[in-house]
Amino acid sequence: MCGFVGYIGGGETQTMAPVLHSMADRIRHRGPDDADYYMDGDIALGFRRLSIIDLAGGRQPILNEDKSKVLMFNGEIYNFQTIREELLKAGHVFTTKTDSEVLLHGFEEYGTDLLNKLRGMFAFIIWDKNTKTLFGARDFFGIKPFYYTEMQGTFMFGSEIKSFVDHPHFKKELNERALEGYLSFQYSPGYETFFKGVYKLPPAHYFFYKDGKMDIQRYWIPEFNAEEDKPLEYWVDEIEKTFDNSVEAHKIADVEVGSFLSSGVDSSYVACSADVDKTFTVGFDNGSKYNEISYAKELSEMIPVKNYSKTITPEEFWGNFGKIQYHMDEPLADPSAVALYFVCNTASQYLKVVMSGEGADEIFGGYNIYKEPLAVPAYDKIPFPIRRFIGKVASHLPRKSGVNFLIRRGMRLEDRFIGNAYMFNEADRKKLLKIKTDAPSPAEVVKPFYDRVKDKDPVTKMQFVDLNAWMVGDILLKADKMSMANSLELRVPFLDKEIMALAQRIPLKYRVNAENTKFAMRKAALRRMPEKWAGKKKLGFPVPTRVWLKEDKYYNIVKEKFTGEVAQKYFHTDKLVKLLDDHKNGKADNSRRVWTVYTFLVWYDQFFNDEILNSYVEKSDAKTA
């Protein structure tokens, strides 16, 4: 586990070295144990290492036998021993015992076919010195990040955008299109980022870069094909067997592995299955609604396993928010990211690797909103034009559950569902913004995903959209960035291609039904834990922002941002203040929309105020190879 950075172009080694070191220093948190570098006049590669496997011999960059190819890799390959044996039989010579080196020799042997042999999380590059070609790939689900840009004749790439700001050819400029899209999604959707000209390599894609040209291809995509002829018990047995296998694979390490534990079924199932010694939990001191520590401690005593917990104070939450947005690279308005930062920080004081429950909801059908298309099915028999008219009339009424039902069911699924967050619709975000952009509508962003599953049922469509948008842009972004901010490796055993291969065969009735979400998975979890945890309704991670925003102290903090210079540049500030005031006065629950704008403004300071930006750099004393 680590972070890497590199660039093509820029001249001789002596001029590359100081720039490369500065770029790598910027992401030291991803790998505080070690650093190393490779430069050959054409390319500069910098690596920061968090030592997990082959502690003594696993330094990167790694070269092949004739030193014609160089690898840098962030992630873990859980089936590397099997692939390694195949490569040894084929005559490849290994110099380490790492999973990393399997990628280098595997690419030599199999080319791009290597990718579908892998089981794990990864972002990696291989430089071919002879052909001057760069190959790179990102894992199936997008667990590990990969960013790239080309500016002033220099091609830059790496694990975090922030490393680019230390390159003299990098032009730091806000991508206003991303800001408009973010106001709807609460994260930056699609391939663009908040920095103009900087892009994300999408999950399950690889690329070749040569002579200034980049060719990107997709190598894998999940396919939902339900098998209706098998009983519930069959699926429960298969989930239990496949999940146990995944957990066992995800425990491979030369250091101790722990587990996160909340009150929900996902992390509880991981903790109950993993046979770890330590679990970690956080909560807030705002009553039981915002604190899951008692649930976690109770289950920990039953397993039994040691539980370490932390109660996050409001001062800690607000005081660390700027640093958290810096580590995120792009603004993410999901308040649970702050809680994740603190649970990662707590775990990092005891070990280097933890397992967590991300991905279960998207794969097995866990979000409460997935039940929406199944509610009152008779209403869908009313012709759509009539439902649309009723919805438009209802939109002028006070928002209550019945009214919301009429509004939402008066819209097509493709228009009303863009993922688990929908902050500002297209009209509202344009009214809020001073700037004009050509950002696509929310529906346009998710249309390619709907098009891939146009013959599926509504719930499967929603899952597919979340797998490709929400999970990548929110869930996995914060999982990687918050863990790496604390030099902690986070492993996600639900996001395993073998589990996906199983889950995409499960009929809808065993994923989502009137009784519960994640129906079959919960039945499997029930074999490991009581109903109190296995059947618990999906909550997400409750954070008391809506409460704090009504308190003068935090209201004033946000109002200062909403009327500040940056806000005045991009927003109609009177509309921002009205959102905030209406929330404080109890006229509407605007907490999530207020938080979305506030998050952007805080993030902007971290990257566009040079004094703040430069305060984060930690110098390293690493050797040059």
Q: Which residues are catalytic, by number?
A: 2
Question: 445 and 421 in contact (C-beta within 8 Å)?
Answer: no
**Residue 533 token pair:** 């945890």
Residue carrying the six token digits 């590990």: 144
CA-only gyration radius of the chain, Å: 24
Instruction: Please state whether the peptide bond connecting residue 61 to the residue before it is cis, i.e. omega within 30 degrees of 0.
Output: yes
Question: 299 and 399 in contact (C-beta within 8 Å)?
Answer: no
Distance CA 394, CA 388 (A): 10
State whether the Cα torsion 268-269-272-276 is positive or negative. negative
Question: 105 and 113 in contact (C-beta within 8 Å)?
Answer: no
Instruction: Please state whether the peptide bond connecting residue 335 to the residue before it is cis, i.e. omega within 30 degrees of 0.
Output: no
Distance CA 493, CA 197 (A): 34
Distance CA 576, CA 596 (A): 11
Looking at residue 13, its amino acid is T
**Residue 432 token pair:** 């809020």
DSSP character for 455? T
Q: Specify the 3-state DSSP secondary structure of 136.
A: strand
Distance CA 572, CA 161 (A): 29
Q: How far is CA 148 from the centre of its chain?
A: 17
DSSP letters for 137-197 = EE-SS--S--EEEEETTEEEEES-GGGGGGSTT----B-HHHHHHHHHHSS--SSB-SBTT
Question: 421 and 465 in contact (C-beta within 8 Å)?
Answer: no
